[in-house]
Amino acid sequence: MRLLVWGTAVLAYVCSVTGRSALAATGPVAAARFDVSAGVLSLLAVLSLAVYAVLQIPAGMLVDRFGPRRLIAGGAVLVAVGQVLLAVAPSFPVAVVGRVLAGAGDAVMFVSVLRLVPTWFAPRRVPVVNQLSGILGQFGQAVSAIPLAGLVVSSGWTAAYLVAAGATGLVAVAAALVVRPGPLGVVAATEHGRMREVVASPGARLGFWCHFASPFSANVFGLLWGFPFLTAGEGVPVGPARLLTSGVVLVTILFGPLFGLLSGRFPHRRVTLITASVLGQAVAWCVVLAWPGTVPLWLLVVLVVIVASGGSASLVAFDVARSAVPPGSIGRASGMTNVGGFVSSLLVVALVGVLLDLQGAGSPDAWDADVFRVAMAVHVPVLLIGLAGMWFSRRALTVPDDGSRLPVAASR
């Protein structure tokens, strides 16, 4: 039964990721359909992510109050309605409303899955299942890139998005019928913590800073600046550069089960695991950016592998936060944690662009190794800020032997 419940919840998460990444796969068609520039279209994508980030803490509060079944089913309905609006939108403003609704539905999905998992799986298995949930959810990007994009080409924009909306709607019904809390985590209404108590918890703040520090390099590299850094900055040919950029996702998937197993087996060392990844990223960036002349390909491969470890380490941050609060506040703590990585990712994406502009390299024609090395150097201070936040937050923490509740100072 637990695999059916978990599988249905993850399927809903896949649908939400499909909706989130759909514009990336169908961007040129969207620009032509709504008669907007690439810059305006990119704002539409950023808007969806901004809605996602802003709603993380409210989503956590809602899932603690109403439970994962209602939030997963309701979130899938919002994603489906957003896709319907995108399918039939006669103008760009209507499409914006559709993206906002889809972003709102997407915002509740992952924190709801994280809230559901501990009620069905033993504490030592939760980290592995959380890693698998994150990995499987990312297959939504493949759904948008292959079948959805193919349907747009073969059957047209409206038909493709209506099919996606219909599939998401069916998953919403399935979630409403199948998803329910398991026997390991039924929480009475009086046990729900207040948000201010979660924010005051050093362990929840530690989860935030762990998530702030660990995934942003992978996000920045994989989503926007990695490819131009490799090609324009380091002279890597287009083919290998694409392999390296996509390799961030692949290596993250490969690291996931390992990080989950280590997190479950050694709960006292979760923060150490994340710290090792963050320090490794800082060192790797320093070596690459300070390398005299052209950086050899093997070193860029090492950079990609180390940066990708941050994606898996970021999911361990949810284990840190979950262990810091009572069961009734897991959703709030997860939402607070999830905000960290989005804040750092958006910050560094913006700072890289600003630093390029300040060097007079606002257009691709002006990009070269010198300007990119200065711009990408912003990773290092942000990584160090994250490490400082982790250090200050962990000083008074403890973690029990099973890693299931309330952290302790031995969390090293």
Whole-angstrom distance, CA of residue 32 vs CA of residue 153: 13
CATH T-level topology, domain 2-177: Growth Hormone; Chain: A; (1.20.1250)
> Helix, strand or coil for residue 330?
helix
54 CA to centre of own chain: 14
Per-10-residue mean pLDDT of the chain, 412 residues long, equals 94 92 74 76 72 88 90 97 94 91 92 92 90 87 81 92 96 96 62 68 90 93 83 90 84 90 90 96 97 94 95 92 83 89 87 89 85 95 96 70 43 42
Q: Is the pTM of this model over 0.85?
A: no
The residue among 320, 344, 404, 336 whose CA lies nearest residue 197 is 336
What are the extents of the domains in the chain? 2-177, 196-394
d(CA 307, CA 288): 12
Residue type, 369: A
* Sequence letter at residue 293: G
119, 186 Cβ separation under 8 angstroms: yes
Q: 32 exposed, middle or buried (CB, 10 Å; 0-12, 13-18, 19+)?
A: exposed
Quote the CA–CA distance of 68 and 64 in Å, as a whole number: 8
Q: What is the pLDDT of residue 362?
A: 77
Q: How far apart are the first and last CA of the chain?
A: 36
Rounded distance between C-alpha atoms, residue 303 and residue 385, angstroms: 20
pLDDT attached to residue 397: 66
CA distances from 221 to 230, 241, 304 (A): 10, 11, 9
What CATH code is assigned to 196-394? 1.20.1250.20
How many CA atoms within 13 Å lie on the side-chain side of 181? 19
Q: Do domains 2-177 and 196-394 have the same CATH topology?
A: yes
